[in-house]
Chains A and B, each alone.
Chain A
């Protein structure tokens, strides 16, 4: 339906516009809406949780239902880093580098107890106490390992966060 701007003086009236199927929003909100429905995740994982990430991507749980199935292998194409597994001292520079290579805006999910706090390996001499000691984390999903359903719950929580615009920007 085409709205005749000359006839209609109530262009500032939001309700009048809505009746004519026109929604008023900011570009920021529109972008956040789009971003939140199609994360492009990069899965970092080195332990049990990545197996559940694989299960989440396969037929039974089907990550594609939520639009998050475009898993990227290249950090420059990804906007969501899923950290699953303990961060060892040797792996730390690699994570930092991947994080630096990802373009803004970008988010991090700490998946599983190892990524949150070091988990059962916290006492180890080579394990960092959680991924938030090196990069900022948006959503924490506890579990050892995390079930695929819990991973989806975490991603949907992140979706809410992004839609409300409550995320860090540089």
Chain B
């Protein structure tokens, strides 16, 4: 039968593209032949702006890269600058940072759960994911004073000490994490329609994942237990006990279940950090003007909620970076979208975008 090739645009203004993603699907009937990913709709020239901001002034911009896991990109940037200048972070600040980072990871995964739910037509998923996330927002507001982008982590430590009601609030949240996960699994993971939309959709085999440089939950769903918190521990992660959940098939359902299991592991990490939280200083003595040695450059990476988040900074001896580059996991993870979509049907594009969980602020910068 003679068929025509036609092109369908998903985005850039589309409710399920997680920001300004524009995916151009090349369709042969109902079958996807190719997907062309157009990026740059959210390109805010962050890397160029960094060259005209001092090291401290750039901290709030990093929160606006990955605004779902706000404390993780801030942590990555602050640790990079600390490594560049050789600043020692106090013990108490390290533990508070771990708590905030893991809460951010949970918040990001809960948005992934909520967004996947609503993208696949399950509004209940949105309601449950957002309900539990609001408790994390309350904790962030308690410490940093703002719900979403508090920039609580600073170069050398954290901005302020934790308030009295912080520990009970975090403790009660962590205690409820297993119950939350049971609820998500009972509502969605075990659902027949859910399985039909996800199982065997968007299979990413481990070889391709490594070749494309995919990191984070997407790589672990393909069966490779690679986590920078274990492979190259930063901060105090080498003292904490947690598992790396992995998938076996590398399909959308695996990416979904790996994220849910990571919420459980993050809960475990927060519990241990709360148990061992020491007393002491919360921020190191950091000079007001930071001037690294001229010609020095540094690359530091952390395990963000989306994968390997790295910062590369080149110094020219001034108080502003000469060049700053962000190795954004979402940008690289998105490159497999055509690969996992090819041969599927049209609605699989939405499933694959939702489960690859890209964040366009970070990808386009």
Chain A: residues with CB nearer than 8 A to chain B? 43-48, 50-52, 54-55, 57-60, 71, 73, 85-86, 88, 90-91, 94-95, 98, 120-121, 123-127, 144-145, 147
Contacts and interface: CB of A to CB of B under 8 A. Distances in A.
A134 to B, nearest CB: 14
Overall SS of chain A's interface: loop
Given A73-B14, A98-B13, A144-B149, A54 B43 contact: no
Contacts of A48: 64, 67, 148-149, 361
Contact of B148 (A51, A85, A98): A51
B46 A47 contact: no
B45 interface: yes
B44 A86 contact: yes
Interface residues of B, number: 36
Interface of B: 12-15, 19-20, 40-46, 48-49, 52, 60-61, 64, 67-68, 111, 114-115, 126-127, 130-131, 133-134, 137, 147-149, 360-361
Given A45-B19, A46-B19, A54-B111, 16 more contacts: A46-B360, A48-B64, A48-B148, A51-B148, A55-B137, A58-B114, A60-B134, A85-B42, A86-B42, A88-B42, A91-B12, A121-B49, A124-B48, A127-B44, A145-B147, A145-B148
A126 B42 CA distance: 9
Given A120-B64, A124-B46, A44 B13 contact: yes
Nearest to B47: A124
A121 B46 contact: yes
A125 B46 CA distance: 10
Contacts of B44: 86, 88, 121, 124, 126-127
Nearest to A75: B13
Contacts of A51: 67-68, 111, 148
B361 A47 contact: yes
Nearest to A91: B41
A44 B46 CA distance: 21
Given A54-B114, A124-B48, A46 B41 contact: yes
A47 B127 CA distance: 21
A55 B13 CA distance: 19
A123 B41 CA distance: 17
A60 B130 contact: yes
Given A46-B360, A47-B19, A73-B14, A60 B131 contact: yes
A154 to B, nearest CB: 17
Nearest to B135: A60
B15 A73 contact: yes
B20 A46 contact: yes
A43 B19 CA distance: 11
B148 A91 contact: no
Contacts of A90: 40-41, 43
18 contacts: A44-B13, A48-B67, A51-B111, A55-B134, A58-B114, A88-B20, A88-B41, A90-B41, A90-B43, A91-B12, A91-B42, A94-B41, A98-B13, A121-B49, A123-B49, A124-B46, A124-B49, A147-B147
Contacts of A58: 114, 126-127, 130-131, 134
B130 A94 contact: no
A125 B45 contact: yes
B349 to A, nearest CB: 15
Contacts of A59: 127, 130-131
Nearest to B11: A94
B330 to A, nearest CB: 13
A73 B13 CA distance: 9
Nearest to B21: A46
A88 B42 CA distance: 6
Residue in A51, A73, A85 with the greatest tally of chain B CB atoms within 10 Å: A51
B131 A127 contact: no
Contacts of A88: 20, 40-44
A21 B68 CA distance: 53
Contacts of B127: 58-59
Given A55-B134, A91-B20, A46 B148 contact: no
A123 B147 contact: no
Contacts of B133: 55
A54 B20 CA distance: 16
A125 B48 contact: yes
A145 B41 CA distance: 19
Nearest to B44: A121
A43 B18 CA distance: 12
A127 B360 CA distance: 15
Contacts of A124: 44-46, 48-49
Nearest to A121: B44
Contact of A126 (B19, B43, B131, B149): B43
Contacts of A55: 130, 133-134, 137
